[in-house]
A = this chain, B = another copy of it.
Amino acid sequence: MGITRKQEIIQIASRLFKERGYSAVSMRDIAQALDIKAASLYNHISGKQEILATLIIEVGEEFTSQMSQVMTASLNPIEKIEKVIEMHIDVTVNFPDNIATLNNDWMHLEGIALNRVVKMREDYEENFRKIIKLGISEGNIKSQHPEVILFSILSTLRTLYLWNEKRGKMDVNVLKKDMVSVLINGII
């Protein structure tokens, strides 16, 4: 048993959403990419919203689960940040299209799904913030405005997907090592 038709639809849709954005992709576009008619999609999914919600929640839960593993690990703050960076690179490699949609189209979610995703993101940021603040109070991290540190690292990690193709033949482990070095030690 390979992947279901439903998964196939969501996969193709995520690719199109990544390129053009949720609003610019029609159900007919998605159907055409699968070489079927738009109405046939509804044998597998309830609507465009379900595609969006499934896509986003899938990768959102991956981040949540991985972050909670990092939080409970017995590591010092700097080591935890390193883990978060490495984890982010792994998730980006495994879900590049989902991440694009999570970043750019979360606001087109409706109802409970929207609340849920917003809360997931807030919790994620709050966990990251805790690590940074602890690192500062313990003296491992320079005493800088924590929000600046949080934002700098997080925005680099979040937009990794944009750069992942250009990265080309660069090995994932090399990328992790360089990324950790640049984000933690700076460039000089």
Across the interface, A155 reaches (CB within 8 A) one of B20, B81, B108, B155, namely B155
Q: Please, which residues of chain B bring their CB within 8 A of the CB of A167?
A: 147
Is chain A's interface secondary structure helix, strand, loop, or mixed overall? Answer: helix
Chain A: residues with Cβ within 8 Å of the partner, total of 46
Q: Please, which residues of chain B bring their CB within 8 A of the CB of A162?
A: 155
Say yes or no: A151 contacts B163, CB within 8 Å.
Answer: yes
Say yes or no: A188 contacts B78, CB within 8 Å.
Answer: yes
* A142, chain B: closest CB distance, angstroms: 6
- Interface membership of chain A positions 82-115, coded 1 if the CB is closer than 8 angstroms to chain B and 0 otherwise: 0000000000000000000000110110000000
- A155–B149 Cα gap in the complex (Å)? 14
* A85, chain B: closest CB distance, angstroms: 11
Q: Report if A158 contacts B (CB, 8 A).
A: yes
* A86, chain B: closest CB distance, angstroms: 14
- A20–B151 Cα gap in the complex (Å)? 22
Say yes or no: A148 contacts B21, CB within 8 Å.
Answer: no
Decide: A152 near B24, CB < 8 A? Known: A142-B188, A188-B140, A188-B141.
Answer: no
Decide: A21 near B19, CB < 8 A? Known: A142-B188, A145-B178, A182-B152.
Answer: no
Sample of 9 more A-B contacts, CB < 8 Å, known A140-B188, A141-B187, A185-B188: A21-B21, A22-B24, A144-B181, A152-B156, A152-B182, A152-B183, A155-B156, A155-B163, A184-B188
